[in-house]
């Protein structure tokens, strides 16, 4: 029989703060972490806002000899993983080393790449930093997590754009549920706030110049964020036996591929991934009390997601709150599925609905209760956390409140 899977550890860094307590406080208060970009010169850019992680000092977390090897993306992932494991307590104690795994989003070390290109092309340097390759490699963050925390079991990265971290958590869930692992660390980090990447996103014409307003009729695009989310997942019976605090129970995972377009999403495929998550969880649509939406605040994506929700939930959608926390901490790309999942777990555990900030005008194409502009108290029994990525790579996680 398949094992039940508990969420026993949470870790995060976001524009709302550098740990889970700060993230939770920001969600509840409706804090918007989006503001003028401070970490680099954006005077030559049209878009001058982002959702940066503030007050993060790498030297407080890493030895000097490590810093040359660890890109900002991997730094975030390692710190979030440390937080999650500390929160979970002695989760690895008594577990055979091959039965502890780590699955994290794959993400290029964009700061390493940007620095190397600047040195080579702008400054005429004869060579880049000697550790540019290990700093930039997409598997860097999971490698550093395993080395930092002493993980020796299955460990790998998953690349599916902004569904990467959700795919990572879902895969870890299935590995624990099947009995392959007793404990898994999963999630993802990302930092794309570099000159090259911000200019590249500008070229796509999807960035908002002023705010992230998901589902609002006057929405004007997404805002790039950075950060990381990490969770500890473990066999629920084992977690109970060791007296662990159980934040929630992860119960389902659904995936689909649009197979159509590299940037434009498909409504039917997005709906399919939500249905698969419900089926995997053994939950009827009416059992869901909250959806943490992908909600990027681009015109097409929000309209498509709202349509997919109508296909899945029908009349129940009129009673179903659906919000996008990207309005608070930006779109953290490959990390977004992890941060959104941590947000969903906190909503279940703490009994509130995270808000969609910046909402100003109802859009007939997005006829949703998007919890506008203020958090709301609510006792949620079950929720979905959705990620719909470029290339039509979709991942949806189902989670239930745990009552001991």
Q: Would residue 402 be called left, alpha or beta, if left means φ above 0 and alpha means ψ between -120 and 50 degrees?
A: beta
Strand partners, 229: 12, 188
Q: Which of 144, 294, 366, 370 is catalytic?
A: 294
Dihedral, CA of residue 162, residue 79, residue 137 and residue 330, to nearest 10: 30
Nearest to 228 by CA among 282, 187, 180, 285: 187
In the annotation, is 212 catalytic? no
Q: Which of 23, 144, 162, 370 is catalytic?
A: 162
DSSP state of 54: P
Q: For strands 290-292 and 322-323, give the pairing.
A: parallel
Distance between CA atoms of 134 and 112, rounded to whole angstroms? 9
Residue 253 Cα to chain centre, angstroms: 15
Four-residue CA torsion sign, 195, 201, 204, 208: negative
Q: Which letter does DSSP use for residue 110 in this model?
A: H
Active site residue 294: yes
Residue where the block lists tokens 């909600």:
295
Residue 111 annotated in active site: no
Residues 6+ apart with CB under 8 A from 217: 360, 361, 362, 363, 366
Q: How many CB atoms lie within 10 A of CB 178?
A: 11
Q: Give the CA angle between residues 225, 226, 231 to the nearest 5°.
A: 120
- DSSP structure string for 364-385: GGG--B--BTS-EE---SEEEE
Catalytic residue (choose from 111, 167, 331, 370):
331
CB atoms within 10 A of CB 252: 23
Give the Cα separation of 154 and 162 in Å (integer).
Answer: 23
Place of tokens 């929630």: 248
Per DSSP bridges, beta strands 183-191 and 226-235 are antiparallel
Inter-axis angle of helices 299-313 and 267-281, nearest 10: 40
Q: How far apart are CA 35 and CA 211, in angstroms?
A: 8
Which residues participate in catalysis according to the annotation?
162, 294, 331
């Amino acid at each position: 029989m398949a094992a039940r899977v508990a969420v026993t550890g949470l870790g995060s860094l976001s524009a709302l703060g550098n740990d889970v307590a700060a993230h939770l406080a920001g969600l509840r208060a409706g804090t918007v972490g989006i503001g003028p970009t401070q970490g680099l010169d954006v005077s030559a850019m049209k878009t001058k806002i982002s959702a940066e992680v503030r007050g993060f000092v790498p030297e407080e977390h890493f030895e000097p000899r490590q810093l040359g090897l660890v890109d900002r993306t991997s730094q975030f992932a390692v710190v979030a993983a440390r937080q999650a494991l500390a929160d979970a307590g002695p989760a690895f104690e008594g577990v055979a080393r091959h039965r502890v795994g780590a699955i994290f989003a794959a993400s290029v070390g964009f700061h390493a790449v940007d620095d190397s290109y600047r040195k080579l092309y702008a400054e005429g340097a004869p060579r880049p930093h000697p550790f540019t390759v290990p700093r930039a490699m997409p598997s860097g963050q999971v490698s550093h997590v395993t080395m930092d925390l002493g993980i020796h079991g299955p460990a790998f990265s998953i690349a599916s754009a902004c569904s990467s971290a959700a795919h990572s958590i879902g895969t870890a869930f299935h590995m624990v549920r099947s009995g392959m692992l007793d404990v898994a660390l999963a999630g993802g980090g990302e930092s794309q706030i570099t000159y090259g990447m911000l200019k590249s996103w500008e070229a796509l014409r999807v960035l908002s110049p002023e705010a992230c307003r998901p589902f609002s009729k006057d929405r004007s695009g997404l805002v790039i964020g950075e950060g990381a989310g990490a969770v500890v997942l473990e066999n629920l019976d084992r977690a109970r036996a060791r007296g662990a605090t159980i934040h929630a129970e992860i119960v389902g995972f659904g995936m689909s591929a649009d197979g159509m377009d590299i940037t434009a999403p498909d409504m039917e495929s997005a709906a399919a991934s939500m249905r698969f998550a419900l089926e995997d969880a053994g939950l009827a649509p009416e059992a869901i009390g909250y959806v943490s939406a992908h909600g990027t605040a681009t015109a097409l994506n929000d309209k498509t997601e709202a349509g997919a929700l109508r296909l899945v939930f029908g009349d129940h959608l009129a009673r179903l709150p659906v919000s996008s926390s990207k309005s608070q901490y930006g779109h953290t790309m490959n990390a977004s599925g992890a941060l959104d999942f941590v947000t969903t777990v906190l909503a279940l555990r703490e009994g509130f609905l995270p808000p969609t900030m910046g909402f100003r005008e109802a859009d007939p194409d997005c006829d949703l209760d998007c919890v506008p502009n203020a958090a709301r108290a609510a006792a949620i029994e079950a929720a979905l956390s959705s990620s719909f990525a470029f290339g039509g790579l979709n991942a949806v996680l189902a989670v239930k409140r745990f009552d001991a």
